[in-house]
Structure 1
Amino acid sequence: MRWITFDCFGTLVDWRHGIRTSAELIVPGQGARLLEAYNRHEHVVQAESPTMRYRGVLAESLRRACEEEKVELGADDATVLARTLPYWPVFPEVGAELSALREAGWRLALLTNCDRDLIAGTRRRLPVPFDAVVTSEDAGAYKPSHAHFELFRSSFEPEVWVHAAQSYFHDMEPAHRLGLPRVWINRHGARPADPSIVPHVQPDLRGLHAAAEAALDS
């Protein structure tokens, strides 16, 4: 049984586009600035409140971003991210690459820092079905905690397992600590703190089947 697990937002779905354009709906012209501020706060909120539902994390992180940037946020505007999340766009190469993995005999799973109801909306937009999903709601924690990985392992007992994700902090570091073969989808050309943690790197999902095979062989 060959499994490849993915993070969803940032890896398969354009998370930055979703945050930026959603912020523009409530504070026009401020989307890019709020996106960068949001990035500074989300992992802090998750670490402070690991059992908070993700819709709560989205709202609290946006509130803190607006406070930091001195942008006024309406009373119910903080819910905009959870309301728009099911419509955030899937990266264009995802369908073909996931289909190629399926045709090659891989099973697909999501390990996502998201709620069950929110990821259900996103799954309707993903062009290929997934065989399993582990959410932060299931795990009772947010990555980079190992809880998602441990729950997946205990539930499915994968004999062959590769993890592919965009986030170095949330995914590559814990996958490394757990000794998992891994492929870093480095969509933003980031520089890793420790390049040895990410021996297999590519800018998007194109050619992921070959990269996954190489990760298994290394």
Structure 2
Amino acid sequence: MTLSGPRPEWLTFDCYGTLIQWDEGLLAAMDRILAGKKQSIDRDAFISVYDRHEHRLEAERPHRSFKNVSATALALAMEEFSLEASPGDADILTSSISGMPPFPEVVATLAGLKVAGFKLAIISNTDDAIIAGNVAQLGGSIDRVITAEQAGAYKPTKQIFQHAWTELGIEKEQLVHICASPHLDLAAARELGFRTIWVDRGTGRKPLADYVPNATVARLDGVPGLFSAAGWVE
């Protein structure tokens, strides 16, 4: 697949799973939390239940902070598995998220895109304080960070994207959004009509049945080749 249309002024990125090693970091955090419990449970099953509660809470109004969402989802998951929650469990989770590192190719790729003249922004379902630790690991290439806390809404709702575009002072035709999450970012693109590159990292997340991204890469370092083919970089 190739990209077409005008060269974007901004590249916007999902953070967790796209730039930052979310799945690996979440498993490690859950291992730390569950290690202190008496029962032995399937961590993948536990994470699936946690995810279900997290996405439901993010959709509720009024808006909750991600710190509140993650703590509440964790407590509800523990309740379902008949686990006794400890006061520090939620802090383990949020501190682990903030410390999750980037994928190996990310920092160099972002630096190259910056040198090529693109402005770079993150649009993420999180709080400012949580994502700060992740952004600090990205080599200083990110120009703006737009969070659910700032927008008062989570993906896949259109509010967070429209808030981001207003903050960046651009129309949707002036950007390409790069993401790994079909059910959040690509679902929003299906509704709002902005261009996307899907980073399919082989996690098993399935593309939407009724939406095809403009391009797909296996890792972030596949993006510059797409841009070269589109005539956007030399």
Q: Against the structure 1 CA distance between its residues 66 and 215, is the aligned structure 2 distance closer, same or farther, given a 3 Å change threshold? A: farther
Preserved CA contact (<8 Å) 1:5 1:110: yes
Q: How does 1:1-218 map to 2 (within 5 A)?
A: 2-28=9-35, 30=41, 31-49=43-61, 51-158=63-170, 160-187=174-201, 188-194=203-209, 196-211=211-226
Give, in whole Å, the separation in 2 of the partners of 1:157 and 1:77. Answer: 40
Shift of 1:212: 5.0
Q: Against the structure 1 CA distance between its residues 49 and 17, is the aligned structure 2 distance closer, same or farther, given a 3 Å change threshold? A: farther
Shift of 1:110: 0.5
Identity of aligned residues (%): 34
More RCO (CA 8 Å, sep 6+): 2
Q: Against the structure 1 CA distance between its residues 168 and 53, is the aligned structure 2 distance closer, same or farther, given a 3 Å change threshold? A: same
- Give 1:167's aligned amino acid: S
Paired residue secondary structure (1:74)? coil
Preserved CA contact (<8 Å) 1:54 1:114: yes
Paired residue secondary structure (1:11)? coil
Q: Against the structure 1 CA distance between its residues 155 and 78, is the aligned structure 2 distance closer, same or farther, given a 3 Å change threshold? A: closer
Greater Rg, structure 1 or structure 2?
A: 2
Preserved CA contact (<8 Å) 1:182 1:212: no
Q: Against the structure 1 CA distance between its residues 196 and 32, is the aligned structure 2 distance closer, same or farther, given a 3 Å change threshold? A: closer
Shift of 1:184: 0.8
Preserved CA contact (<8 Å) 1:38 1:64: yes
- Give 1:5's aligned amino acid: T
Shift of 1:199: 3.8
Paired residue secondary structure (1:57)? helix
| TM-score normalised over the length of structure 2 | 0.83
Q: Which runs of 5+ in 1 are unaligned?
A: none
Q: How many residues align?
A: 217
Residues 127-165 of structure 1, C-alpha deviation per residue, up to 9 Å, x if partnerless?
243111111111011111112211122222236200011
Paired residue secondary structure (1:126)? coil
Shift of 1:122: 1.6
Residues 70-123 of structure 1, C-alpha deviation per residue, up to 9 Å, x if partnerless?
333223322321122221121111012111211211110010111111112221
Paired residue secondary structure (1:44)? helix
Give, in whole Å, the separation in 2 of the partners of 1:51 and 1:216. Answer: 41
| TM-score normalised over the length of structure 1 | 0.89
Q: Against the structure 1 CA distance between its residues 204 and 71, is the aligned structure 2 distance closer, same or farther, given a 3 Å change threshold? A: farther
Give, in whole Å, the separation in 1 of the partners of 2:189 and 2:17. Answer: 17
Give, in whole Å, the separation in 1 of the partners of 2:123 and 2:185. Answer: 9
